[in-house]
């Protein structure tokens, strides 16, 4: 299951905060801030999808993520590779390195990361 763009934005705030009450979440948003009812709806949907949960403290709920950012991103990227690059990581890497405006330094850093992974295998 996947998050919508607005849910992803909220999820990024929760990953950053680790746990948060509604007020803490609203404080993360730039002006104009969304209505608290909008955030409550998003939190309800994300709870139903199994991405977050909460602890009850009186009448307040403290929300926290159930999935790590890296795990969500990894699943997202793998789905992208499968859907748009014929399940080929090398096609994705080729596209990524040619179609993004990476600097020479960034490409060299990627090369170092790849060389390091090759040595591990």
Across 78-101, b (16+ Cβ under 10 Å) vs e yields eeebeeebeeeeeebeeeeeeeee
Sorted by where each starts, the structural domains of the chain and their CATH numbers stand as 5-65 (1.10.10.10), 69-120 (no CATH)
Helix axes 69-84 and 89-99, enclosed angle (nearest 10): 100
Residue 70 CA to residue 76 CA, distance in Å, equals 10
Q: Name the residue with tokens 């960034």.
A: 106
pLDDT tens for the chain, 121 residues: list them. 789 999 999 999 999 999 999 999 999 999 999 999 999 999 999 999 999 999 999 999 999 999 999 999 888 888 888 888 888 888 888 888 888 888 889 888 988 988 888 888 8
pTM of the model: 0.76
């Amino acid at each position: 299951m996947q998050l919508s763009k607005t849910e992803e934005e909220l999820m990024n705030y929760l990953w950053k905060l680790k746990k948060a009450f509604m007020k803490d979440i609203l404080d993360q948003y730039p002006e104009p801030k969304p209505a608290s009812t909008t955030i409550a709806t998003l939190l309800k949907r994300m709870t139903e999808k199994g991405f977050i949960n909460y602890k009850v403290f009186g009448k307040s709920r403290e929300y926290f993520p159930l999935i790590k950012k890296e795990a969500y991103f990894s699943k997202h990227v793998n789905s992208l590779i499968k859907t748009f690059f014929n399940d080929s990581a090398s096609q994705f890497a080729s596209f990524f390195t040619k179609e993004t405006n990476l600097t020479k330094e960034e490409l060299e850093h990627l090369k170092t990361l790849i060389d390091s992974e090759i040595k591990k295998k």
